[in-house]
Structure formats: C-alpha cells, structure tokens
Amino acid sequence: MSIILDKVSYVYSEKTAYEIQALKNISLKIQDGEFIGIIGHTGSGKSTLIQHLNGLMRASSGGIYYNGQDIYDEDYNRKELRGKVGLVFQYPEHQLFETTIFADVCFGPKNQGFSRKESELKAFSALRSVGLPEDYWYRSPFELSGGQKRRVAIAGVLAMDPEVLVLDEPTAGLDPKGRNEILDQVARLQRERNITIILVSHSMEDVANYVDRLIVMNQGSILFDGTPKEVFAHYQELEAVGLAAPQVTYLMHDLSQYGIPVCGMATTMEEAKQLILQAFAKK
C-alpha cells in the first residue's frame, strides 16, 4: 500500500491578479507504515500538499495514486478515500461542533455509514487511543484546553480508522509538556495501529525526535527528502531558506570546532549524549 504523487502542480486563483503557484511538479512516494515529517517555511506549500493527499484539493496538473488507483478517476470514491487518509487540520476549533466530545468523535464514522453502535465503539477506542480521561467525554468540546481540543480533533479523525494519518502542525501553540504528550501519543499510534503518519511541523526538534523520513519543502518544491540525519547535514542550505537544524546539531558542531573529538553528527538529545560519552571514554 502506498501513496504516489506524480508531477503534481497546483495554482491558486488561476488567471487573476492573485495567481500563486503553490506546488511545482511534486513527485513523491509514501510507503506503508512510514513516519514522515514535512517541514518548510510558511507559504512553502506544505498545507496545500497534504490537502491533495485525501483529494480535498484537486491538482492543476499531475496525478495521485492511492494503492495503485488513480484518485482522479471518474468512478473513484473520493469520500471513501477521506476515511482512509485521515487529515487533521491545524485548528481543532474548525471541526468541533457537537454538544459533547463523544458525539463529536462519532461524527466521522457516522458519515462513513456505520450504525450508531459501531460508531460509538469506534469513538470509544479512538478517545482511548489519544489518552483523553473518561470524565471529559460527555463535556462540551468548547470547555477544553488547547491541547485537549487537539486530542479530540485527532480522535475525531482516528475514529474513521484511517490507514494514513496526516497531522497539520498538531503541536502549534502548545506548551512543551502538551507537545511531547501529543507526539508520544502519535508515535504510539503508529506502532500499535501500524498506520502511516505524516506530520507537518515547524519544530526541528519535534521532527528529529520522532520521524524516520523528513521532507523539506521550499517555494512549492521538495528541497530535501531523506532521514533526519541526512537532511540536517545540509543545515547551511536549510538556513538559506529560513529553516534550521535542531539545536543539538549546532552544539555538536561547535564542540568539535573547540577540539572535543566528538565524531559524527546528532539530531536528537539521546544521540548527542552517546557521542559525547564516547568522546570522553576515548580520552
């Protein structure tokens, strides 16, 4: 199972004074079970790209194939695709509307045509998966804190049993504790439910800590695509487009410049710790 993007381009407000080319010839292959991070400057096309994955936006040119089927085919069921590729938007306020959290999470599976009972079972397991305490379930979604709203929004999509879960900046505006909780939860989902995760983020630390593969977007094109280590090795080019590597990468670089023999580069705190310990063990 995979998602393949073949030379996808997208132009906003075509043929007007506001015309913007948001995606330029994007070709991409996303394998089953991957944990992918997408980073890029504001306006680099990240959000536009992920909205193509579940067919919400239609490419101006190019093709998208989900499990080998062309999603732009006349008789392709795009509504079903939205259940398979679950997309969680950045602002949970945009999707919460029901009187209770539990009812809100049931919205997705109900739309897929499941009975009330099945929907409730799915909502139950989704809310469990995101780790929201049960005494919240029958409260209004508008009473929640930012982090809790995010969880409910993720649960609302998770209840549809997606094969791919796309998260648009799930940690924006959260404090460090809430951020780690959400990301740990997402990483656990990937392991337990074996779903593909695509994480759009602004935080280099977040992606370095969690993802297996990192895609860097710049001005509508893919700049780098590889493991976080491979990508962050290009930190000078990243800086040129307004991005940066994680703080530890810089720290390790500085350490070796000051004569401490740490060999190799690190993108996470854990890696850095190992390398520093190794360096001192040699001495």
Partner 1 sequence: MLRDITIGQYYPADSVIHKLDPRTKLTATLIYVVSLFVFRGMAGFVAVTLGLLIIIRVSKVPFFYMIKGLKAIMIIVVITVIFNLFLTPGEAIVTFWKLKITWEGLKNAGFLTVRLIYLILGSSVLTLTTTPNQLTDGLEKALKPLNKLHVPVHEISMMMSIALRFIPILVEETDKIMKAQLARGADFESGNLVKKAKSMVPLLVPLFISAFRRANDLAMAMEARCYHGGEGRTKMKPLKYKKRDGVTYVVIAAYFAVVVSLRLVL
Q: Which spans of this chain sit near partner 1 (rule: CB under 8 A)?
A: 12-13, 16-17, 51, 54, 56, 79, 82-83, 86-89, 91, 93-97, 107-108, 111-112, 142, 156-157, 160
Under 8 Å between Cβ of 64 and 70:
yes
Shortest reach from residue 87's CB to partner 1, in Å? 4
- Provide DSSP, 166-191: EEESTTTT--HHHHHHHHHHHHHHHH
Phi-psi domain of 201 (left: phi exceeds 0; alpha: psi -120 through 50; beta: other) = beta
Of 30 and 208, which has the nearer Cβ to partner 1? 30
Rounded to a whole number of angstroms, the minimum distance from the CB of residue 81 to partner 1 is 10
How near is the Cβ of 253 to partner 1 at its closest, in Å?
40
Question: If 0-12 CB within 10 Å is exposed, 13-18 middle and 19+ buried, where does residue 54 land?
Answer: buried
User: Closer to partner 1 at the Cβ: 97 or 280?
Assistant: 97
Residue nearer to partner 1 on the CB measure, 110 or 213 = 110
Output 198 or 275, the one with its CB closest to partner 1: 198
Phi/psi for 149 (5° steps) reads -60, -40
Residue with tokens 């392991």: 191
Cβ proximity of 215 and 243 under 8 Å: no
Q: 45 or 246, CB closer to partner 1?
A: 45
Whole-angstrom distance, CA of residue 139 vs CA of residue 261: 56
Minimal distance, residue 110 CB to partner 1, in Å? 8
Residue 134 tokens read as 């049960």
Write down the least CB distance from residue 92 to partner 1, Å: 9
